[in-house]
């Protein structure tokens, strides 16, 4: 299996200070470089850049296993213990989940723990976990 390399994702936000509080404070992502209108975060080893804008991307939804999944969204596939820890942290912080933490596709090849929530600018995030990431992530 190839070694995974970090992705780079730039997203729009309406307020840099709110982005810092959400990604740096709530999610605990270390901050990297920044300027007045953008800031880099280390999102589980990936480069997430928040750019302040005045208009946001419209959101659509797609039904997946009984959930109304917001599109676009992004996130990280975590180890199950990390996912449980993050779900507990977000629940304790009273985050308003778009889709509550739960297991999707139980007993099927794609069984996964998932949760959806949004940042203060309305960008949707999904964090998921598999019992064995490397065996299940792309399995059909």
**pLDDT, tens digit (0-9, with 9 covering 90-100), for 81-107:** 999 999 999 999 999 999 999 999 998
Read off the pLDDT band of 135 (50, 70, 90). Answer: confident
Q: Is residue 88 part of a domain?
A: yes
pLDDT tops 90 at residue 6: yes
40-92: pLDDT as tens digits: 999 999 999 999 999 887 889 999 989 999 999 999 999 999 999 999 999 99
pLDDT above 80 for 136: no
Q: How many domains does the chain have?
A: 1
Q: Is residue 99 in some structural domain?
A: yes
Determine the pLDDT at residue 2.
64
- Residue 3 within any structural domain of the chain: no
For position 108, which CATH number holds? 3.10.180.10
Can you tell me the distance from the alpha carbon of 90 to that of 117, in angstroms, rounded to the nearest whole number?
A: 9
Give domain status of residue 2, yes or no.
no
Q: Is 39 part of any domain? A: yes
Q: Which domain holds residue 118?
A: 8-136
What is the layout of strands, in order, in the sheet containing 112-118? 73-79, 124-130, 112-118, 97-104
């Amino acid at each position: 299996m190839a070694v995974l390399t970090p992705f780079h994702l730039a997203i729009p936000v309406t307020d840099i200070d709110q982005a810092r509080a959400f990604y740096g404070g709530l999610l605990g992502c270390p901050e990297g470089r920044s300027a007045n209108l953008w800031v880099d975060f280390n999102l589980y080893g990936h480069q997430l850049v928040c750019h302040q804008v005045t208009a946001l991307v419209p959101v659509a939804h797609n039904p997946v296993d009984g959930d109304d999944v917001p599109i676009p969204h992004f996130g990280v596939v975590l180890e199950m213990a990390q996912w449980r820890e993050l779900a507990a942290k977000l629940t304790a912080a009273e985050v308003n989940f778009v889709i509550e933490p739960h297991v999707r596709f139980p007993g099927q090849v794609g069984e996964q723990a998932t949760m959806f929530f949004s940042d203060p600018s309305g960008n949707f995030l999904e964090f998921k976990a598999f019992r064995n990431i490397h065996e299940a992530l792309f399995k059909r």
